[in-house]
Amino acid sequence: MSASARLIGFGSYLPRQIVTNAELAARIETSDEWITTRTGIRQRHIAAPDETAASMACAAARAALSYAGAQPDDVDAIVVATATPDQAFPAVAVRVQAMLGMSRGFGFDLSAACSGFIYALSMADALIRSRQARRVLVIGTEVYSRILDWSDRSTCVLFGDGAGAVLLEAQDGDETIGLLSTHLHSDGTSGDLLYVDGETHHLHMQGRDVFRHAVTKLAGAVDEALAANGLSYADVNWLVPHQANLRIIDGMAKKLGLSSERVVVTVDRHANTSAASIPLALDEAVRDGRIKRGDLVLMEALGGGLTWGSALARI
């Protein structure tokens, strides 16, 4: 009998400090109106010196374990998606393993920029389906504030920090519940559209080109996920997209024929938290009761690489 992965725990962590558009406008040449009109962002959370990729990931993981009624030693593996690790090595995942007090299992990081959480879900799903693990923590954690050029108004207004986590558990038999499928893509020829410079360690982005790619590539990934499962737009209960830009999110909702009430939006409060954005939004919508057991949830993201992908889950 084959195994499949069910999402049983949800958690998140946001840094204590909130920076509004008005506060940014006092430092650089921008305005609340300029930022909000173009992106939908009104504020973002910024990590303090004592808040790290690992500490935020651990806090989100503890919340996901608590939601599921699980203990750290119930976990077989930790997969962390991050483009902003605290160290080159060891991995954030093994730091989290130690912080949680896990005496068993294994962990590793992967880097796929804003698509990282979708990639990490796919890796966790593969571990469960191959029976190498029964319970896997999947975490997206980012401290983009430490790779931004705070004098560059075209990028520094877009990003924030935070972490989100889900706990996946193997189930036997019923493959109509849980993570139905994931779909991953990349195009290395577009790598210079969004990257972090190796010398300055600052993020650089050609925003218009990234926007253009996002619209077409995300639409394709969405269609791919639904076709793989014999489903239609009408079957989707919730869209939980990567939170990069409200115009992109609205465009995807329109394509699916979903009203705004069926789209989880956090970009206005969180800004773009890269690999953390989808699990942060998912945790919020599950905990406030919007997303319920049995709902069909579509997740999609595009990031530097370019990387992009989608995931379909029945919660």
User: b or e along 12-51 (b: 16 or more beta carbons within 10 Å of the residue's beta carbon)?
Assistant: bbbbeeebebeebbeeeebebeebeeebbbbbbbbbeeeb
Active-site residue flag, 272: yes
Backbone angles phi, psi at 311, to 5 degrees: -145, 140
Peptide bond into 241 cis (omega under 30): no
106, pLDDT greater than 90:
yes
Active-site residue flag, 114: yes
Dihedral sign computed on CA atoms, order 107, 183, 265, 8:
negative
Which domains are seen in the chain, by residue range? 3-172 (3.40.47.10), 178-314 (3.40.47.10)
Kindly state the helix (H) or strand (E) to which residue 315 belongs, with its residue range: none
Q: Residue 145 to residues 107, 119, 125: CA-CA distances in angstroms?
A: 25, 23, 30
Mean pLDDT of 260-286: 98
CB 206 within 8 A of CB 194: yes
> Which among 45, 183, 242, 270 is annotated as catalytic?
242
The string of DSSP letters for 82-149 reads -SS-SSSSS-HHHHHHHHHT--S-EEEEE--GGGHHHHHHHHHHHHHHTTS-SEEEEEEEEEGGGS--
> Which among 45, 114, 156, 245 is annotated as catalytic?
114
Mean pLDDT of 142-153: 96
Of the candidate ranges 11-15, 133-137, 197-201, 229-233, the one whose mean pLDDT is the lowest:
197-201
In DSSP terms, which residues pair with 137 in a beta bridge? Answer: 78, 167
| Contacts (Cβ under 8 Å, ≥6 apart) of 88 | none
pLDDT at 1: 58
Tokens of residue 14, six digits? 């946001």
pLDDT at 255: 87
> Which among 45, 183, 213, 272 is annotated as catalytic?
272
Mean pLDDT of 157-168: 98
Q: Distance of alpha carbon 123 from its chain centroid, rounded? A: 14
SS3 state at 32: helix
Mean pLDDT of 64-91: 98
What pTM does this model have?
A: 0.97
